[in-house]
Structure 1
Amino acid sequence: MKIDAAVCSSARLARDRRFDGRFFTAVKTTGIFCRPICPARPPLERNVTYFATAAEAANAGFRPCLRCRPDSAPGSPAWGLVSTTVQRALKLMRGEREPQSVERLAERLGVSSRYLRRLFAEHLGVSPLAVWQTERALFAFRLLRDTHLPIADIAYESGFNSLRRFNGVFKQIYQRTPSEVRREGHSSRVDVRAATPVRLYLDYRPPLDWQPLLAFLGARALTGVEQVEGEVYSRSFAVDTGDLVRYRGVMRVYNDAERNRLVVEIFGQEGGTGLYLLNQRLRRLFDLDTDIEEIQAILKEDTLLSSQLRENPGLRLPGAWDPFEYALRAILGQQISVAAASTIAGRLVTRYGESFVDDSGTEWFLFPQAEQLAEADFSDLGVTRTRAKTLREFVAATLDGRVNFAEQSLEDWCTQVTSLPGIGDWTAQYIAMRGLSMPDAFPASDLGILQALGSEGEKAKPKEALARAEQWRPWRAYGAILLWQSLKSGEQK
């Protein structure tokens, strides 16, 4: 991928955090590649070359710096500049613990394996396997340094079912074994079994408006499933690892603003199983890999959004822990207030969800999966018969494949879901926006959006909202968040 060497040079010499994760500096004389914020003495310009991603640098034969730790760099926005097919492939690769063959990946994307390999070579300069191995090795390094999990568990967490394969790939990239990295990072006297909870660190590129993000999530928190207390977000979770076992637990997330990272404490996971999937889901939930500068460059052209951006420079699009969960919540929330929707969703959880008690004695619930709701009637939730029928139809459509949450275009998703009775464009767009984290989703008929865009006490019309939002593409979802933030009173969706 093409990058501007002059810009990279200025950024690394200034150690500008705005460029952290946007590119990596490889030093020819040492064979090491670094983040632009590396505290080491900057090498001479003639001795460096620049790469857009860590995978490219590793594939070129450079090994990660042990001082600045490229494994901790925020996600690269460079991925967003590649073809749609490659973006979809990357999301599919990151959405499962184990690797997929190129043939299987291509089949899921509806293209040939030869064409997919060519796209990766053209847009990323590396093969799908090289991307997978590099990202998983970087994640494994993070677990070796930041947790006390046994190395065999870390291999499994990173997607390797063979310890021998894990050691081989890791040594190829880091030029040292996992055991050597563990000895360098931890005292041998540490009892790994007593080291609880497991902690993950999610680095991000500042700024991040943590308080507005928590306020948004807190107003919609499901009792027993999630909560916001002070500056901490907590929720129950369950992860399917593909071996017919669900691992459940509770997580706590808070912001370490001085180090530009979120700290995640995970309780209840035996061996920490599911950490890679947890990492990916949380990055999407808190929208940590978004390119704020690119979004602001487009949205600030609108005077209303520009004033909101000045107040909230670290804008994020609040995501969802699970697309199916949020789809049901969106259906429940049609034409009612946020508080009422959360209350009804809470009833769904207590009636159909699985409960468990954590180590502190607190009872938590897991949001039910589609399989658990296959025979649910929903009429006991306090919704209309029509709404209960819509919920039943959506669950059935999820189970039989008429509705799927695989990576797809916004148009395809909306066509798919609005074909079901009782689901209109608002619901489809809102699920796409929050549940699927589609940045261009825009529920134009939303009352809050129409109020924010109105004038002299009159609400705007949906057609007017769509016309105005056309200039915000492909970031209309962020425009919607800013419009809701602009409302000084009244309920927001």
Structure 2
Amino acid sequence: MHEDFERCVRAVQAKDARFDGWFYCAVLTTRIYCRPSCPVVPPKRQNMSFHPSAAAAQQAGFRACKRCRPDASPGSPLWNERADLVARAMRLIADGVVDTEGVRGLAARLGYSVRQVERQVFAELGAGPLALARAQRAQTARTLIETTTLPMTELALAAGFGSIRSFNDTVREVFALSPTELRSRAKGKPSAGAILLRLPYRKPLCPDNLFGHLVATGVPGVEEWRDGAYRRTLRLPHGHGILALRPEDGHIACRLSLTDLRDLPAATSRCRRLLDLDADPVAVDGQLSTDPLLAPLVEAAPGRRVPRTVDGAEFAVRAVLGQQVSTAAARTHAARLVVAHGEPIDDPEGGLTHLFPSPEALASLDPETLAMPRSRRRTLLALVEALTGGLDLGAGSDWEATRAALTALPGFGPWTVESIAMRALGDPDAFLPTDLGIKYAAEQLGLGGQAAVVSRSAAWRPWRAYATQHLWATGDHPINRMPAA
């Protein structure tokens, strides 16, 4: 979009927040870059230039606006709508892969050469993977500076910088302030413990199905609803963490307790992905509203998101456990696995007790201890074997190749494959026409049988996962309701 000069100018002049994260506006006279909705008086059009990423603006010599904080705007929805190389690379960079594995590791995960990845990412974003990771490190540093009391030397290492000098230079270059000046300007009170964040999103947002689904399907010991917030444990590259997410007006209040602060970018990325915060609800709702049967549902609850997951392998295991059983039964099966094979953790603030078992931990389970039909035991063991053998269900996975790999496993029908595609892979067009809730909704709305629903759903593409949320919401199930505080 940044190449459409006139459209970008109109968005900046209108201070349209819908385009935050889609592109960045740089001012040639002040050498500052902003988000489109920046509250300051828009610059003259001849002084505007537009960039596809914060990293590209920084590489061009612009520094972040102190007023609108463009580095903290919602991410581009393109990276979660697409499954091409650049979109997969961006999801992995956001998940911290470049910091932990380097560009070579990023390329290996994507199945391309380093040169191919660098060339394609630069062509679309105006910056290579290293520059994009550097911009992310700068934002991580700012978050830690403003929300913690860590000494700057420790903070620099936690943010991913190799030296205090590179940390100081980057912060000054990006924000035109020293780390000490950033801390002195912080509005909130720094914490010596958990990190408190405000996760932005594009309005509108309907929290009912997001938090209702996560809580209703939550696994005891791994997830809980406490004091009006969804809490859960998560496994991270350098340790583990506990997150707490609460919906607020215009943002999600996020509280992170991490055993290693180097995991802040990955934890933040997974929180955003879990709640689908980088979606473009205006585009989604606009498309679905063209169907006269869906239009009233969209009007009643605009901004529905797709509840996703923080761990693709975990969700796949839970999807198998949930085959042809109730939500309560699926939770019971998962809770037993957690107690038997999960990693215990301490939670001084609540009732979380374990990390969900890793595929490696589940590789040693005795199938005879599973209280489920023999065919489902075989399905679960086949999945675990595939996961330990390299099946990738993470942020950078190839959606269609993964679907094919899952379909080849015993016991994996369309419902299981599409559930994983929707929640774990993040495909916005995943669809479950065989789901019981979809069948009930079709009957209630007069959509017809399964064949008729599939035919009609062609008009909902590429947002059928969002249509699924609206159809599910026609039923009276706890997944559709925000729990009481």
Q: TM-score, normalised by structure 2?
A: 0.90
The correspondence of residues 210-289 of structure 1 with structure 2, limited to 5 A, is: 210-229=207-226, 231-241=228-238, 246-248=239-241, 250-257=242-249, 260-267=250-257, 269-270=258-259, 272-289=261-278
CA distance in 2, matches of 1:362, 1:210: 23
- Contact 2:428 2:462 (C-alpha < 8 Å) held by counterparts: yes
Whether the 8 Å contact between 2:20 and 2:36 is mirrored in structure 1 is: yes
- Give 1:151's aligned residue: 152
Correspondence list, 1:166-185, <5 A: 166-185=167-186
RMSD, aligned α-carbons: 2.8
Alignment of 1:56-455 (within 5 A): 56-79=56-79, 84-96=84-96, 98=99, 100-185=101-186, 195-229=192-226, 231-241=228-238, 246-248=239-241, 250-257=242-249, 260-267=250-257, 269-270=258-259, 272-360=261-349, 362=351, 364-402=353-391, 405=394, 407-454=396-443
Q: What does residue 454 of structure 2 align with?
A: 466
Q: Report whether the alignment pairs 1:476 with 2:464.
A: yes
The 8 Å contact of residues 93 and 100 in structure 1, kept in 2 or not, is answered as: no
CA displacement, residues 326-360 of structure 1 (integer Å, 9 cap, x when unaligned): 11110011111222211221222122212333224
What is the CA–CA distance in structure 2 between the aligned matches of 1:481 and 1:361, rounded to whole Å?
Answer: 30
* Kept in 2: contact 1:349–1:368 (CA 8 A): yes
Q: For residues 456 and 288 of structure 1, do their structure 2 counterparts lie closer, same or farther at Cα, with a shift above 3 Å needed? A: closer
Which letter maps to 2:153? A
Amino acid at match of 2:35: R
- Quick one: which amino acid aligns to residue 398 of structure 1? L
After superposition, the Cα gap between the structure-2 partners of 1:458 and 1:31, relative to the gap in structure 1 and judged at 3 Å, is closer
Using the alignment, how far apart are the partners of 2:331 and 2:431 within structure 1? 22
Distance in 2, matches of 1:183 and 1:491, equals: 43
Given that 1:451 and 1:460 are in contact with CA atoms closer than 8 Å, whether structure 2 keeps it comes out as no
Aligned counterparts of 1:151 and 1:419: Cα–Cα separation in 2: 51
CA distance in 2, matches of 1:74, 1:411: 27
Shift of 1:10: 3.6
Contact 1:71 1:139 in 2 (8 A): no
Q: Is the 8 A contact 1:99 1:132 kept in 2?
A: no
Residues in 2 aligned to 1:320 and 1:200: alpha-carbon distance in whole angstroms: 19
**How many residues align structurally?**
479
Inter-partner Cα distance in structure 2 for 1:491 and 1:76 = 28
Q: Which runs of 5+ in 1 are unaligned?
A: none
Structure-2 separation of matches of 1:381 and 1:466: 35
Change (3 A) 1:490 1:183: closer
Report SS of the residue matched to 2:378: helix
Structure 2: segments with no counterpart, 5+ residues: 481-485
* CA deviation profile, 1:117-152 (whole Å, cap 9, x unmatched): 332232222222222212221232233223333333
Distance 1:321 1:121, change over 3 A: closer
Q: Pick closer, same or farther for the CA change 1:304–1:157 going to 2, 3 Å.
A: farther
The 2-side partners of 1:362 and 1:81 are apart by 35
Amino acid at match of 2:235: A
The Cα shift of 1:281 comes to 0.3
- CA displacement 1:141-174 (0-9 Å, x = unmatched): 2332233333334333333343333333333333
The residue identity in structure 2 corresponding to 1:116 is: V
- After superposition, give the CA deviation of every residue in 1:261-289 in whole Å (9 maximum; x if it has no partner): 1111123x346341111100000000000
Separation of aligned partners in 2, 1:316 and 1:94 = 20
Amino acid at match of 2:229: V
Instruction: Render the CA deviation track for 1:368-402: whole Å, top value 9, x for unaligned.
Output: 11111111024334211221222122112211225
Hey, what's the Cα distance between the residues in 2 that align with 1:458 and 1:74? Answer: 35
The letter for the 2-side match of 1:431 is: I
Contact 2:419 2:430 in 1 (8 A): yes
Q: Is the 8 A contact 2:215 2:479 kept in 1?
A: no
Render the CA deviation track for 1:177-208: whole Å, top value 9, x for unaligned: 32332344379xx8x7x623221221111111
Q: Is the 8 A contact 1:71 1:141 kept in 2?
A: no
Structure-2 residue corresponding to 1:38: 38
Partner letter of residue 425 of structure 1?
P
Alpha-carbon distance in 1 for matches of 2:314, 2:350: 25
Shift in alpha-carbon separation, 1:344–1:151, aligned structure 2, 3 A: same
Where 1:251 maps in the other structure, the secondary structure is strand
The structure-2 alpha-carbon separation of the partners of 1:491 and 1:117, relative to structure 1 and needing over 3 Å to count, comes to closer
Q: Which moved more, 1:148-157 or 1:328-337?
A: 148-157
Per-residue Cα deviation, 1:466-490 (whole angstroms, up to 9, x for no partner): 3222222222211111111123579
Out of 317-326 and 53-62, give the one that drifted further.
Answer: 53-62
- Distance, in Å, in 2 between the alignment partners of 1:179 and 1:104 is 34
Q: Is the 8 A contact 2:433 2:453 kept in 1?
A: yes
More displaced 10-residue stretch of structure 1: 100-109 or 438-447: 100-109
Whole-angstrom CA distance in 1 between matches of 2:394 and 2:325: 25
Change (3 A) 1:230 1:211: farther
Q: Is the 8 A contact 2:233 2:240 kept in 1?
A: no
CA spacing shift, 1:89–1:219, aligned 2, 3 Å: same
Report the counterpart of residue 483 of structure 2 in structure 1.
Answer: none
Q: Distance in 1 between matches of 2:309 and 2:82?
A: 24
